[in-house]
Structure 1
Amino acid sequence: MRRLVALAVGTVAGLVALVAYPTSRNASVDAAADSPAAAQASGGGSSTGGASSADDSDAGTSDGTPDPSADTAGGSSGATDGARGSTGVSGTFTGAAVQTRWGPVQVRIVVQDGRITSADAVVHPDANGRDRQINAYAIPQLDQEVVSAQSAGIDLVSGATVTSDGYVQSLQDAIDQAFS
């Protein structure tokens, strides 16, 4: 009986130590968040056809007030349909760079006559082979879904949830620029 208790306590202690152990990925995210370049990257995107973007961390409008249509949970529910009620809008719009756990994600959309004709993740995590492998299949799926859905109400890609969340947040910012 004592052996079982000792085994259980040892297992729990080992799991706690494993979860709390700082990995190189965690350290690089913390270091990147403290750097001036990361502050610039998360400060917003640029557009060639709309208003400047809001800071991605407050999910608000350009005047700093909360945007009730912003999807702050990072999922696909509640996202605004960018093309709804808008016609004739054309241009290229780049959403704010969204800092995720594995690195920044930034999306650029091309709008022609009020329709999203293409979407592209211009910045995404690629610091290691695993990031490149995941995003090689996830990003094209997300890009295609945007054109099909004509909104940020897209499904997240299984196995790439962190990148998908950042993608949807940056996409929503680009859509807000294009159609507000």
Structure 2
Amino acid sequence: MHALKKNRPLRRIVLASAATVSGVVLLLSFKPHTAPATALAVPAPSGSAQVTGTKTVTGDSVDTRWGPVQVRITVTNGKLTEVTAVVYPQENPRDQQINSYAIPTLRTEALQAQSADIDTVSGATYTSDGYRQSLQSALDSMSG
């Protein structure tokens, strides 16, 4: 007679419970993928001299899965005062829809953070990554 026949219901209960516990343990031990941490920040001015005046720099064009992303920044008296996306994916209606909310959100985040250490916009991961990289390249060229 088979081990899981109806004349042994306790054995079925024990096996079902063990399988459930094993599944829950495996599920709870799952570690989601995270992007590697990158040091991203507004470059500190060298020495005691503070950068004065206004300077505008365009970052590198970063190729993403959906198209290139490039930003231009303006720094006034050492403070990031403007970030403009000069190139970003807008080839089709879906790109236009996504970037209609992603680009303004990324701009606001960058101005608040005063660095490229900004969050990814949900639904616009590739654009966010390209935006961060281009922003960081502009900030790096500002100090050099």
TM-score greater than 0.5 by the shorter chain:
yes
Q: Distance in 1 between matches of 2:125 and 2:86?
A: 18
1:84-118 deviation per Cα after TM superposition (whole angstroms, max 9, x unaligned): 34622531010011111100000100000111001
Letter in 2 for 1:77: A
Q: TM-score, normalised by structure 1?
A: 0.55
- Which residue of the partner structure matches residue 8 of structure 1? none
- Which residue of the partner structure matches residue 138 of structure 1? 102
The gaps in structure 1 that reach 5 residues or longer are 1-74
- Which residue of the partner structure matches residue 37 of structure 2? 77
Spell out structure 1 runs of 4+ moving beyond 4 A: none
Higher strand share: 2
Say yes or no: does 1:167 pair with 2:135.
Answer: no
- Give, in angstroms, the shift of residue 82 of structure 1: 1.3
- Which residue of the partner structure matches residue 7 of structure 2? none
The gaps in structure 2 that reach 5 residues or longer are 1-34
Given that residues 45 and 51 in structure 2 are in contact (C-alpha distance below 8 angstroms), is that contact kept between their aligned partners in structure 1? no
- RMSD across aligned positions (CA): 1.6
Given that residues 71 and 131 in structure 2 are in contact (C-alpha distance below 8 angstroms), is that contact kept between their aligned partners in structure 1? yes
1:38-63 deviation per Cα after TM superposition (whole angstroms, max 9, x unaligned): xxxxxxxxxxxxxxxxxxxxxxxxxx
Q: Distance in 2 between matches of 1:146 and 1:107?
A: 11
1:93-132 alignment, distance < 5 Å: 93-132=57-96
Q: TM-score, normalised by structure 2?
A: 0.69
1:154-179 deviation per Cα after TM superposition (whole angstroms, max 9, x unaligned): 00101000100010111010000112
How many residues are paired up? 106
Q: Distance in 2 between matches of 1:148 and 1:76?
A: 22
Letter in 2 for 1:149: A
Q: Distance in 2 between matches of 1:141 and 1:84?
A: 25
Bigger Cα Rg: 2
